[in-house]
């Protein structure tokens, strides 16, 4: 499903906002983001009244939505999860997998659910749009959130070994996270191809995200001796060095030893944000 404000969809009353995408998906493709969401926003889930979570643009298979449901239920046993897809055929294919607390509906970025969601996960849905349209999609989603809600919007590789996402609330983007299978890349800047749409075209000299990835590669190179003990010690050493000059999260839930060992690094959005939002 594509986003935007809107292009080729969502202009008629009752018509979903967005367009159909390829729908590529697979088992455990979004495990990294799900694991992070449970760790970082578990307390939010536990404390909320009747929490509703939306998986937006789940693709050709129900599988990642069903996995999200299973993972979130370990944190909050009565959480309700709704998978939203714009393609009616994909919704029909997912319907047999519904169960109490898990449902699938047709829709788009207007989020056709019964109440404002606490969490919206939207992965691999904005890559075909330009930067300005991605910002517009963020605006639309934020306007649909519960008062203390959050959006997890990002991109991952086909098998989920490389991923990046932004967490947003009603005020706007708050954090950026990079996550990687530590044996699956040569240098941290390999993750640049998975940056969210609002950042991926900013990876050029003079932009903050470019400087960050350059410094991360340098820290990775300096941490090479730790590679003799494995990829995790090297990643940990590189992130610790990076934290000397960048506002990397170093304490739970966003940072700390556990998050580093999982191949994650999180920064405030402001550390990597472009100086100006592009015009539509």
What pLDDT, in 10s, does the model give residues 119-145?
A: 999 999 998 889 999 999 999 999 999
- Residue range 240-251: average pLDDT? 97
Q: How many CA atoms lie within 13 A of 174 on its CB side?
A: 14
Tell me the pairing of strands 150-156 and 172-180.
Answer: unpaired
Q: What is the pLDDT of residue 21?
A: 73
pLDDT recorded at residue 1: 52
pLDDT, tens digit (0-9, with 9 covering 90-100), for 35-88: 999 999 999 999 999 999 999 999 999 999 999 999 999 999 999 999 999 999
For the chain, give the percent of residues with pLDDT over 90: 86
Residue 2 pLDDT grade (very low, low, confident, very high; cuts 50, 70, 90)? very low
Assess whether pLDDT exceeds 60 at residue 11.
no
pLDDT at 101 over 90: yes
Predicted pLDDT at 128:
84
Closest CA to 223 of 195, 260, 192: 260
Q: What is the pLDDT confidence band of residue 280, given thresholds at 50, 70 and 90?
A: low
Q: What is the pLDDT of residues 56-70, one digit of tens each?
A: 999 999 999 999 999
pLDDT digits (tens, 9 = 90+) for 164-181: 999 999 999 999 999 999
Per-residue pLDDT at 12 exceeds 60: no
Query: Residue 176: is the preceding peptide bond cis (ω within 30°)?
Result: no
What's the rounded mean pLDDT across residues 23-32? 88
Q: 32, exposed or middle or buried, with CB in 10 Å at 0-12, 13-18, 19+? A: buried
Query: What's the confidence (pLDDT) of residue 4?
Result: 38
pLDDT bin (cut points 50, 70, 90) of residue 265 is very high
Q: Domain segments of the chain: what residues?
A: 31-264
Cα–Cα dist 150/128, whole Å? 23
Token pair 């309700």 is found at 80
Mean pLDDT over 79-104 rounds to: 97
Is the model's pLDDT at 10 over the cut of 50? no
In CATH, the number for domain 31-264 is: 3.40.50
- Ordered alpha helix ranges (H), 105-181: 131-142
Predicted TM-score (pTM) of the model is 0.93
Please give the average per-residue pLDDT across 199-225, as a whole number. Answer: 97
Q: pLDDT exceeding 70 applies to what percent of the chain?
A: 94
Question: Considering the chain, what is the average pLDDT of its residues?
Answer: 93
Q: Who's near 40: CB < 8 A, 6+ residues apart? A: 167, 253, 254
């Amino acid at each position: 499903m594509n986003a935007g404000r809107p292009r080729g969809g969502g202009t008629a009353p009752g018509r979903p906002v967005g367009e159909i995408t390829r729908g590529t998906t697979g088992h455990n493709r979004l495990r990294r983001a799900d694991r992070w969401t449970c760790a970082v926003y578990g307390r939010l889930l536990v404390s909320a009244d009747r929490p509703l979570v939306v998986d937006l643009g789940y693709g050709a298979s129900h599988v990642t939505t069903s996995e999200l449901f299973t993972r979130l239920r370990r944190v909050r046993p009565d959480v309700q999860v709704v998978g939203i897809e714009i393609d009616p055929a994909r919704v029909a294919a997912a319907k047999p997998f519904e169960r109490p607390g898990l449902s699938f509906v047709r829709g788009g970025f207007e989020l056709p659910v019964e109440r404002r969601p606490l969490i919206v996960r939207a992965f691999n849905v904005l890559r075909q749009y330009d930067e300005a349209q991605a910002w517009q999609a963020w605006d639309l989603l934020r306007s649909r959130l519960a008062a203390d809600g959050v959006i997890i919007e990002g991109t991952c590789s086909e098998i989920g070994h490389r991923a990046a996402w932004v967490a947003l609330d009603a005020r706007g983007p708050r954090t950026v996270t990079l996550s990687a299978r530590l044996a699956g890349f040569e240098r941290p800047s390999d993750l640049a191809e998975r940056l969210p749409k609002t950042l991926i075209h900013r990876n050029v000299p003079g932009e903050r995200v470019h400087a960050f990835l350059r410094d991360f590669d340098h820290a990775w190179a300096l941490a090479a001796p730790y590679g003799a003990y494995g990829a995790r010690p090297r990643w940990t050493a590189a992130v610790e060095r990076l934290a000397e000059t960048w506002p990397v999260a170093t304490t739970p839930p966003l940072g700390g030893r556990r998050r580093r060992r999982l191949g994650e690094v999180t920064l405030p959005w402001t550390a990597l944000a472009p100086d100006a939002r592009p015009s539509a």
